[in-house]
Amino acid sequence: MPVLHNLVNNKELKARMLAETEARTTVSFYKYFLIDDAKSFRDELYKALVALNVFGRVYIANEGINAQISVPASQFEAMKAMLYGFHPALDKLRLNVALDDDGKSFWVLRMKVRERIVADGIDDSDFDASKVGAYLKAAEVNAMLDDPDAVFVDMRNHYEYEVGHFDNALEVPADTFRDQLPMAVDMLQQQKDKKIVMYCTGGIRCEKASAWMLHNGFENVYHVEGGIIEYARRAKEQGLPVRFKGKNFVFDERMGERISEDVIAHCHQCGAVCDTHVNCLNDGCHLLFIQCSDCATQYQNCCSPVCMEELALPPEEQRARRAGRENGNKIFNKSRDLLNMTLAIPAPDRK
């Protein structure tokens, strides 16, 4: 029986990936379909992907598959053929190929069996995730953006919306998709007569959100086919105006794909125009936030002087401070974190 997990540490695996000379392609895909034995499905797919030297993150559940992977350029067609033939539901599966990609998105393959392929918090036996809203292709998206009776709803987290979105799109200000679903229903009650257009990164969240809106009595529900990734790709291929502004946040080492040259966000420390997400270098924090190059230098890639101080301590003291500490949600949220971050910066050094 072959080993179905990684035997080499992350540091070595990342070094190997960076040393590769062959180009890689970053691809994301998902599919809602019934999987009777998720573990066996995971094990067989793992072996097939490892044989093609695929890296990435794949979630398997009884409701389907959700994947973000990188594949050597020479193996792309083989990987595509393997997926199409792996299960009837995956035949002609849409593959969202990254736009702004250096191929350095992943360095290891991790595949997990989960209860859901995207955590939604739905506990309603009558909900049918297959009854989704109408798909919109790139040209239809642009037309809807000019329709005064259409409301675009961004079904991504606040930190994703902050660096890029469609003009006038409604933000659902929550940290998680499970919190967004009921919030979106409440926020749109007065607009049930409108055309509700949901969108997200690659389609998986907005597709389920469209089904949830229909389940909750909304009738004119749409979602962007393939999400922002597919929309931007098709619009560029077809010579259409790309109406998405800024960056599309992605959940890999890149932390963002540049869709337009617009920079619509600001450094969380000094307020300068910037849309570069980073994680605080302090192992006891790792807060995800936006930081400009000047602040990265001033705060030594940390989110605050407090973390700078802790990072400068001997390793054993850093570990002692971290022991038993609850970091909570490690994502910068303006309403929750801005005051604390600002107060942590000594007054004479504030920009």
DSSP conformational letter for 254: T
The gap from C-alpha 318 to its chain's centroid, in whole angstroms, comes to 30
3-class secondary structure per residue, 266-310: ECCCCCCECCCEEECCCCCCCCEEECCHHHHHHCCCCCCHHHHHH
Which tokens go with 113? 């069996």
Q: Which residues are 88's β-sheet partners?
A: none
Strand order in the sheet with 64-72: 96-97, 24-32, 64-72, 55-61, 109-113
CA distance linking residue 83 with residue 77, whole number of Å: 10
Residue 132 one-letter amino acid:
V
Q: Which residues are 66's β-sheet partners?
A: 30, 59
Contacts for 67 with CB less than 8 Å, ≥ 6 apart: 27, 28, 29, 30, 56, 57, 58, 59
**Annotated catalytic, 200?**
yes
Query: 200, 206, 274, 280: which is the annotated catalytic residue?
Result: 200
Contacts for 333 with CB less than 8 Å, ≥ 6 apart: 158, 159, 175
Q: Name the burial class of residue 59, with classes exposed (0-12), middle (13-18) and buried (19+) by CB atoms within 10 angstroms of its CB.
A: buried
Strand order in the sheet with 150-154: 134-136, 221-224, 195-199, 150-154, 170-171
- DSSP H helical ranges for 166-281: 177-187, 204-215, 227-237
Give catalytic residues, as residue numbers: 200
